[in-house]
Amino acid sequence: MEELVAELGAAFPCADLDLLLEPRADHADYIANWLQVLKNDNRAVFTAASHAQRAAEFLNLLQPQRTTEPTAANEAA
């Protein structure tokens, strides 16, 4: 289960930051293994996603807050 949490936990910040993941040759086999786990436990994906979301939110809170300063382009608009 921990690996599924890690996979989803990596995907959530990538989605938030509009980062594209590079496919790997062995990724299909890795995902196929998780499909079997999910078939055996139909709640596993929800449990893993919940843990991953909490971890992603925690990491997001650790980031420094962005401040937007006026620029010449913003002032002209």
pLDDT category at 7 given cuts 50, 70, 90 is confident
For 22-38, give the secondary structure using H, E and C.
CCCCCHHHHHHHHHHHH
Structure tokens at 21: 């993941």
Does the reported pTM lie above 0.85? no
Stretch 12-28: mean pLDDT: 84
Asked if residues 24 and 68 have their Cβ atoms less than 8 Å apart, the reply is: no
The beta-strand segments (E) located in the chain are none
Pick the closest to residue 10 from 46, 45, 44, 59 (CA basis): 59
pLDDT at 46 over 70: yes
The residue among 11 and 50 whose pLDDT is bigger is 50
Q: How far is CA 44 from the centre of its chain?
A: 17
pLDDT digits (tens, 9 = 90+) for 21-39: 787 788 777 778 888 888 8
